[in-house]
Amino acid sequence: MMVLSLLSFSVMAQRKAVHVLIIGLDGLSAEGFKTAKHPNLDKLFADGVLSLTTRPVMPSVTLPNWTSHMTGSGPEEHGITANDWTLQKHALQSVEIDQDGYYPSIFKVLKEAVPNVKTSYYYNWKELINPINQKYLDEVSFEEKDQYKDNYQKAYDFMVKNKLNPTLTFLYSVHTDHAGHGFGWMTPEYITAIEQADVAIGALLEKLKTAGIYKDTHFLLITDHGGINKGHGGVSMAEMQVPWGITGPQIKKSGLITSFNSNKNTGVVLAKIFGVTKLPGSWTGTVPKNVFKKVSLTN
């Protein structure tokens, strides 16, 4: 009986509420990541996995790629092929839709599979949320004029408020992409925008440590595309190679990996972190190699 009690206690101790914070920086190229100074991101992913050869989906533009991250699929499945997509007006039909006409996202998957899960979505590019069915989100916040500091605070507040529940927090900023469009990718202004983001991320991470949430949280760094000159959408390696990082309790300390990875894989990775195995049949992403420990601790 004593042995069984100890085993039961061990299992209960492992089944802490799963927390995931997605840090999204729009237009962050692999080349830009290699050039900019980002000590906070370096320290964060030193204990996890970092890819600098992840491939965006095509076309290498914003809405198709962020949708792919959140839906485990490419444009050929989810149907978002351009930034002007709306539920009411689009050319390509999704291969699968929910009762409201939206392609199934990771937020829907978690809400239907994980008891008491809380989800949030913070963004500052207004079109970003168009492909996401907001009924699967507990909190949504849009910040205007490329500002992001208020949303960083709101994300922190949400994570603290829901620390006893499983949580998925999506925290996105477009200011890095707009620096590329305004000044050019790899210009001093673009590099400064990346470095400014790192400062904000560092401050948020310190607050999470103080709140006692940091060590039990999985962190993802994701982006949509790189850029060349003042644009993107093509197939140059500057546009089609981006960073992708992950760290947390279930993640290996693999360091820099070069095995194949795609933006389509993010949603599948998120599902695995939460212990969800039943995914939409139309999802095409996979779990990349050298990411997860052999034994996953799920809630």
In which band, very low, low, confident or very high, does the pLDDT at 169 lie, cut at 50, 70 and 90?
very high
- What value does the mean pLDDT take over residues 268-296? 93
Full 3-state SS string of the chain: CHHHHHHHHHHHHHCCCCEEEEEEECCCCHHHHHHCCCHHHHHHHCCCEEEEEEECCCCCCHHHHHHHHHHCCCHHHHCCCCCCCCCCCCCCCCCCCCCCCCCCCHHHHHHHHCCCCEEEEEECCHHHHCCCCHHHCCEEEECCCCCCHHHHHHHHHHHHHCCCCCEEEEEEECHHHHHHHHHCCCCHHHHHHHHHHHHHHHHHHHHHHHCCCHHHEEEEEECCCCCECCECCCCCCCCCCEEEEEECCCECCCEEECCCCEHHHHHHHHHHHCCCCCCCCCCCCCCCCCCECCCCCCC
pLDDT of residue 294: 81
pLDDT the model gives residue 15: 57
pLDDT(3) > 80: no
The average pLDDT across 246-255 equals 96
Residue 275, sorted as left (phi over 0), alpha (psi -120 to 50) or beta, turns out to be: left
Report which of 186, 208, 198 is spatially closest to residue 245, judged by C-alpha positions. Answer: 198
Q: Cβ contacts of residue 74 below 8 Å, gap of 6+?
A: 57, 64, 68, 264, 284
**Residue 16 confidence (pLDDT):** 78
Q: At 132, is the pLDDT very low, low, confident or very high (cuts 50, 70, 90)?
A: very high
Mean pLDDT, rounded, for 119-131: 98
Q: How far apart are CA 146 and CA 24, in angstroms?
A: 13
Instruction: Report the pLDDT averaged over residues 246-261.
Output: 96
CATH homologous superfamily, domain 24-273:
Alkaline Phosphatase, subunit A (3.40.720.10)
Residue of higher predicted confidence among 11 and 180? 180
pLDDT band at 295 (very low <50, low <70, confident <90, very high): low
**164 HSE (CA, 13 A, CB side):** 1
What digits encode the pLDDT tens for the residues 50-64? 999 999 999 999 999
| pLDDT(168) > 70 | yes
Q: State pLDDT tens for residues 7-38.
A: 333 333 345 799 999 999 999 999 999 999 99
Lowest mean pLDDT among 5-14, 134-143, 165-174, 245-254: 5-14
Domain ranges of the chain: 24-273
pTM of the model: 0.93
For residue 8, the model assigns a pLDDT of 35
Mean predicted lDDT score pLDDT of the chain: 93
Q: Name the nearest CA neighbour of 121 among 140, 108, 103.
A: 140
